């Protein structure tokens, strides 16, 4: 499935999404697409090699959305 298929499906199903990439710009772009479709989404950088980056990302999810399922 392509992003053009998955993104509308996720929005339609009510998903709240945290889009990540090594750099913030691509992630924020996809999150903006989701919001334009009516979804709840944020984007940000995440270098999965670093534990501190994970911790920061999870704190942001908690601050923005209240919890992680």
Note the pLDDT tens digit of each residue in 17-26: 899 999 999 9
How large a percentage of the chain has pLDDT more than 90? 74
* Residues 54, 46 contacting (CB under 8 angstroms): yes
pLDDT of residue 24: 94
What is the β-pairing status of strands 16-21 and 40-45? parallel
Residues in the chain: 69
* Three-state secondary structure call for residue 29: helix
35 burial class (0-12, 13-18, 19+ CB within 10 angstroms)? middle
Q: In this model, does residue 43 exceed pLDDT 60?
A: yes
Rounded Cα gap, residues 37 and 60, in angstroms: 22
pLDDT of residue 1: 54
């Amino acid at each position: 499935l392509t992003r053009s298929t998955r993104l509308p499906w996720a929005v339609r199903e009510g998903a709240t999404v945290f889009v990540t990439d090594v750099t913030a710009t691509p992630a924020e772009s996809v999150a903006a697409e989701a919001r334009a479709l009516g979804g709840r989404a944020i984007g940000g950088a995440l270098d999965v090699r670093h534990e501190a980056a994970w911790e920061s990302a999870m704190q942001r999810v908690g601050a923005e959305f209240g919890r992680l399922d």
